[in-house]
Amino acid sequence: MRFQNFELRYRGYVFFGLDWNSRKPGVVVARGAAPEADLHNFPGGTLPWLRERLAAVPLDTQKVFFIQHQGIKTPIYSPDWLYTFDANERDQYKAALLNAWDRELYWGLFAGHIHRRWEGSAFDDWPELIQMETAACQDGSQVTLVRVEVDGTVEVLVAP
């Protein structure tokens, strides 16, 4: 099984692209993978890869960002296990982050799986960890631009 994880370091910022996509088949009437996220918590999987890369983050890093297809939090009308992680997986994800670094190092994540324009906290008990979702092609074309200033200020622009 191959995963599409990546890391980019730029001027004191670290970006992780994380492959949480399920490898289970989707429903019979549709092609592709099942919609839920999967930690792939086994040797060679995404969660062990993330833990390893977090351990190697330089001490002078200003912020860490995550780019992933599925978000962590789902809309209130949708069960979390259907489109993202179940409660146990969510706890494991959060523990991997907090076991590596203090909360302040993490800015948040960008996702788009549910095709909604939404901004909020990724975890109820960690409101500073931002989850930004793009509606992608649901409401026409959208582009998300992220500008990180020298002082660490992060500005997110969503353009139709």
The domain that holds 136 is classified in CATH as 3.30.750.180
Is there a domain that residue 50 lies in? yes
Amino acid, res. 133: E
pLDDT value of residue 137:
63
Q: Is residue 147 part of a domain?
A: yes
Q: Which of 5, 140, 149 is nearest to 67 (CA)?
A: 5
Q: What is the pTM of this model?
A: 0.85
Contact 154, 110 (CB under 8 A): no
- Range of 51's domain? 6-159
Q: How many domains, in total, are found in the chain?
A: 1
For residues 27-45, average pLDDT? 82
Domain annotation covers residue 31 = yes
Cα–Cα distance between 80 and 46 in angstroms, integer? Answer: 19
Beta strand 154-159 pairing with 126-133: unpaired
CA distances from 152 to 3, 108, 156 (A): 30, 13, 13
Residues 6+ apart with CB under 8 A from 138: 115, 116
Q: Is the residue at 106 inside a domain?
A: yes
43, pLDDT greater than 90 = yes
Domain membership of residue 1 (yes or no) is no
Sheet (strand 118-123) strand order: 6-10, 13-18, 63-68, 106-111, 126-133, 118-123
Average pLDDT over residues 16-26: 87
More confident residue, 8 or 118: 8
Residue 53 lies inside a defined structural domain of this protein: yes
Over the stretch 72-122, which tens digit does the pLDDT of each residue have? 887 676 777 777 888 899 999 999 999 999 999 999 998 887 767 778 889
Residue 97's closest CA among 128, 75, 136? 128
The reply to whether 100 falls in a domain is yes
61 assigned to some structural domain: yes
